[in-house]
Amino acid sequence: MMTREIAVFISDGYADWELGFICPELNNSEGNFKIVTVALTKETVCSMGGLKIFPDYSIEGYLKRNNNNLHMLLLCGGTIWKENNYELSEVKKLVDYCQRNTVLISAICDATTYLAYNGYLNKVEHTGNSHEFIVNSCPNYSGSKFYIEKQCVNIDDFITANGTATLEFAKEIMNHLQVHSEEKIQKWYDFNKNGFYEK
């Protein structure tokens, strides 16, 4: 089976916990997925939790590969989005590449705001860190009628989630990529959501 690559964008101040459920499930699944990390440059990045990662690729280097195995782009929250006023031209090149090649784009927390700010969510069903927050943060946003008040929204080309939906985000990605059966994924979700005991 051909390896299906998952490109995870990371940056200084990235929200490491938002990757904590989904990346191990993809990396250790039987679906032949491979996680690669992509950043603005090849320099080491440090998460909010102080975890340092040396990226596999810069965005420029990754795009030069012209990789036909890319299966999903994963954008997590972090400080980079607001610090750059949601204007990151290099990330836009990566998102545009995914759109041109019908690659699934998954975003959580303020990464959804970045997508909204740059017009990607104007005509697709989505969620984010509240409708009010997106409207106030994104002057060119015109996707209000497509905003859904849910923890996570899964459609054909986009999966979006708010910052409190790490588990729901992971669940919808796994369902979309058919990592396991829906029953197995639901059991995984229930276990992690509820723990051993209800109280």
pLDDT by residue (tens digit) across 170-193? 999 999 999 999 999 999 999 999
* CB 160, CB 143: distance < 8 Å: no
CA distance readout (Å), 60 to 14, 33, 35, 168: 19, 22, 18, 31
How many helices (DSSP H) and strands (DSSP E) are in the chain? 8, 9
pLDDT, tens digit, 9 for 90 and up, residues 112-141: 999 999 999 999 999 999 999 999 999 999
Which is catalytic among the residues 23, 76, 109, 152?
109
Contacts (Cβ under 8 Å, ≥6 apart) of 81: 88, 110, 111, 113, 114
Q: How confident is the model at residue 1 (pLDDT cuts 50, 70, 90)?
A: low
E strand or H helix at 190? helix 182-194
- Three-state DSSP state, 198: coil
76 carries an active-site annotation = no
Domain extents in the chain: 4-193
CB 80 within 8 A of CB 88: yes
CATH code that applies to domain 4-193: 3.40.50.880
Least confident residue range of 23-32, 35-44, 124-133, 146-155: 23-32
Q: Each residue of 40-76: pLDDT tens digit?
A: 999 999 999 999 999 999 999 999 987 678 999 999 9
Residue for token digits 């101040």? 13
> Hey, CA dihedral for 100, 106, 110, 116, is it positive or negative?
positive
